Amino acid sequence: MMPDDMPAAEKVKRVLAFEQAGRDAGDGKVVNSIVSYSDAYRAETLANTLGTRIRTETGRSVVGAQMVVSDGEQLQRAVEYNAVVGGPELLIDTSAEDLSVKATQKAVALLSAKPCPAGNFTVIFHPSITGLLVHEALGHNAEADAVASGQSMLEGRLGEDLAAKGVTIIDDATIPGAYGSFKYDSEGTPSSRRVIIDDGRLVGFLHSLETAAKFSVTPNGAARADGYDSKPIVRMSNTFMERGTVPFEEMVRGVDRGIYLEDGHWGYVFVQKGQFICYAGRAHMIENGRIGEPLRDVSISSMTLDTLRNIDAVGDDFEMKMPGMCGKEGQSAPTDAGGPHVRVREVVVGGQQM
Amino acid sequence: MVFFPQVPKPMSESVDAIVQKICDQATRAGASFADARSVESLANTILVQDGRANKAFSTASFGISVRVLVDHCWGFASADTVSEQHAAECLDEALSLARASAKFVEEQVEITTPEPYVDSVRMPAA
């Protein structure tokens, strides 16, 4: 469907229903609730002096719920969202249980969660945290314009073993229906599947026509422009770690005392330093090989390459559900990120108690 | 009352002709490479807060940009109206910027010559 294939009044009715269901699920604890929906249509027409003539029409839609709950002493917040390359059918395909009700349930659960301990822990990343790692911490460093201008920690390191064996990280703009997918970039180069880390080794970057010439490689379709008034710059698309072989339960069994981080919310990367910070909406203690009590207010800070080297288990599962708009140089681009559960040794966890 | 404008109609022949014509003019003006891009965009947003639909709005834009490579320097200009006149003005400005920059920049821009593609894509497919 394209945006005008559903009447505006029908969209409003469905969004209102999501919001109502979220409040109803809170048993009187919801103090603030927001459900939003957007759909966008974009038509890009490109010609160049070599004979390229491409027209691309794309629809994208996103629906999200943010629920804030209170027990009279504290406030907790949780967010759920869903997005597709598509249109208003998202409002039909999404259920309240998977959106606003789920957000309310998560927020209510946080009311009884304990503050996270601070320290150095073995940590298991949920796929959403893995997504933050591969996009924020590694992906931006693999954009060849950053590499060429000396702003990336990956400069001069092609061919080096930078991550643990078994770690493969890919940016793939060709996945049908994925939020970051496209067929041609804004320079008219066909999109592609780009391997950044292959079994631990740095093997490639994301390129525009200009950076491909600088690195003497074939352009791989990563130059995207936001609007008509933006120049194409090197961007990620759908960035993920490939699944491995370790079942989640086995991963947990191998941890005496650690933390399971869930709900990757946001991250920030100091590209040149190779340092990143990310915040998890919730977490659980892991004690004696078992998932334990729930935790809240968890953030981690680490050096990207240390984290990639300290991965000692890559899960046999996979989830890519972090659709969003990635910002760079004042431009936004639709992207997605994900991967399997991964276990990482020696991660600095910020919290409130020892 | 909630009002959303209609999605723009598929590209008219004129838009296709304008971007092509600008590229031809760029070549005649001495650009070693040029591209012209028009982007039409429309976004609708609905926000419900605490039981009320408190925001419903649309944004729309339709513009064109021209990028040229002259003397190993980029020039770029854009306009928020798509017409032959605006596109020609963008080309002139982009050419001027590239030529002016060429006198000062130390690093010369090279690009990998792209394969030409002719295609029309709709995502999701109709």
ipTM, interface predicted TM-score of the complex: 0.91
Among the listed residues A15, A64, A3, the one whose alpha carbon sits nearest the alpha carbon of residue A39: A3
Nearest Cβ partner for A187 among B35, B39, B42: B35
Chain B positions touching A37 (Cβ under 8 A) are 45-47
What's the pLDDT at A352?
59
Nearest Cβ partner for B112 among A86, A212, A228: A212
Does A353 score more than 80 pLDDT?
A: no
Chain A positions touching B42 (Cβ under 8 A) are 3, 40-42
Chain B positions touching A227 (Cβ under 8 A) are 39, 41, 61, 63
Task: Determine the residue of chain B that is closest to A24 in CA distance.
Answer: B51
Judged by a CB distance cut-off of 8 A, whether residue A184 touches chain B is yes
- Chain B contacts in chain A segment 75-94 (CB below 8 A): 85-87
With pLDDT > 90 as the criterion, what percentage of chain A qualifies? 87
Mean pLDDT of A4-13: 92
SS3 A324: strand
Give pLDDT tens digits along chain B (126 positions).
333 444 444 445 689 999 999 999 999 999 999 999 999 999 999 999 999 998 999 999 999 999 999 999 999 999 999 999 999 999 999 999 999 998 898 889 999 998 899 999 998 876
Structure-block tokens of residue A128:
């959403």
What's the pLDDT at A293?
94
Chain A positions touching B63 (Cβ under 8 A) are 227-229
Interface contacts (A, B; CB < 8 Å): 218
Q: How does the average pLDDT of chain A come out, rounded?
A: 94
In the sheet that A193-198 helps form, which strands lie side by side, from edge to edge? A201-202, A193-198, A169-172, A238-241, A331-338, A324-328
pLDDT digits (tens, 9 = 90+) for A127-140: 999 999 999 889 99
**Which residues have a Cβ under 8 Å from the Cβ of A220 and sit 6 or more positions away?**
A189, A192, A194, A204, A206, A207, A212
DSSP letter string, A328-350:
ETTEEEEEEEEB--EEEEEEEEE
Residue A43 vs residue A270, higher pLDDT: A43
Q: Which of B1, B35, B66 to mutate to test the interface with A (most CBs of A within 10 A)?
A: B35
Chain A positions touching B119 (Cβ under 8 A) are 53-55, 183-184
Mean pLDDT of A268-281: 83
C-alpha distance from B110 to closest chain A C-alpha (Å): 6
* Contact between chains at A54 and B117 (C-beta distance less than 8 A): yes
**Which residues have a Cβ under 8 Å from the Cβ of A137 and sit 6 or more positions away?**
A267, A269, A274, A276, A304, A307
Please list, residue by residue across A164-183, b when 16 or more beta carbons sit within 10 angstroms of its beta carbon and e when fewer do.
bebbbbbbbbbbeebbbbbb
Residue A29: what residue type?
K
Q: End-to-end CA distance of chain A, in Å?
A: 52
Using CA atoms, how far apart are residues B54 and A272, in angstroms rounded to an integer? 42
SS3 A172: strand
